[in-house]
Structure 1
Amino acid sequence: MSANAPRYVYKLVPSTAPIPETLPDQLPVSDLDQRSGFVHLSSATQIPNTLKFFFKNEPLVYVLRIVYDKVEKDIRWESPDATVCGPRGGEGMFPHLYNGLKLGKDEIESVATWKNVDGWDDALQNAGSWLIY
């Protein structure tokens, strides 16, 4: 892991795709990830804007925490539409997981459930030390 690499990356999952208590080998793939051919992830610092932009009207989300070292070999840091490739860049560059769309018990370290109460600020504040870059 390089000095500025994150410790964790995160996958946000809407309430319409509940995460089972016992994680399977592979979770179902979202339509967006299926169309893109990779799993869309965010760093801890990107989570607030990802929530506010893509999950604004969701009543709750499941936040999957993934140890970066476990997936680093399959991560590409790219713009949201995957047109700009390269090493870890500014916050406009997102971690995209290119591992055959596999995200399950081997990749996910823990899962949190966050509720949207008049916006995501309360959930983010309550995330405390769980949301780590």
Structure 2
Amino acid sequence: MSKPIYIYKLVSFSPPFPDPPPATLPLSELDVASGFIHLSTVPRTLKRFFAEDPHVTILRIEYSVVEKEIQWEDSKGEVPGEVGGEGMFPHIYNRGLRGEEIESVTVWERNGNWDEALEKAESWLVY
């Protein structure tokens, strides 16, 4: 896979995401426990880790802005891999995500499953 255009941070909807974003976003419990920011290319992460959430906030980040800090690894950060490789996810270590790095924000609603939201967001969800 070639380099993505965008990568994404999925955030539980509650509480709603602030507008404008803060200078540095607080790390999620998972990010703190893992020692890195979990980023994604979305569909698999959405369906696996947010399967029961009624709403999810999606932060879109231009890949070129954070590319130098990205490490592609398995979800636990234990096995390095190729950019966009099967089962590989973009991670950023040793810092929080900066508000200025967020290109846009959207909220998706799950209606039974996430397929409808993914279909509606097809033009926004660019890799």
TM-score by length of 1: 0.89
Structure 1 unaligned runs (5+)? none
Q: 1:122 to 1:85 in 2, by over 3 A?
A: same
User: d(CA) in 2 for partners of 1:41 and 1:13?
Assistant: 10
User: d(CA) in 1 for partners of 2:32 and 2:83?
Assistant: 24
Q: CA RMSD in A?
A: 1.4
Letter in 1 for 2:118: L
Letter in 2 for 1:115: E
Q: 1:48 to 1:86 in 2, by over 3 A?
A: closer
Structure 2 unaligned runs (5+)? none
Q: 1:36 to 1:126 in 2, by over 3 A?
A: same
- Given that 1:33 and 1:101 are in contact with CA atoms closer than 8 Å, whether structure 2 keeps it comes out as no
The answer on 1:105 being equivalent to 2:103 is: no
Q: 8, 23, 47: which is aligned to 1:10?
A: 8
For residue 24 of structure 2, what is the aligned residue in structure 1? 26
Identity %: 51
User: d(CA) in 1 for partners of 2:50 and 2:3?
Assistant: 26
Q: Figure out how many residues of one structure are paired with residues of the other and give that number.
A: 127
For residue 114 of structure 1, what is the aligned residue in structure 2? 108
Q: Where do 1:58-97 residues align within 5 Å? A: 58-88=53-83, 90-97=85-92
- Given that 1:76 and 1:87 are in contact with CA atoms closer than 8 Å, whether structure 2 keeps it comes out as no
- Given that 1:34 and 1:101 are in contact with CA atoms closer than 8 Å, whether structure 2 keeps it comes out as no
Letter in 1 for 2:16: P
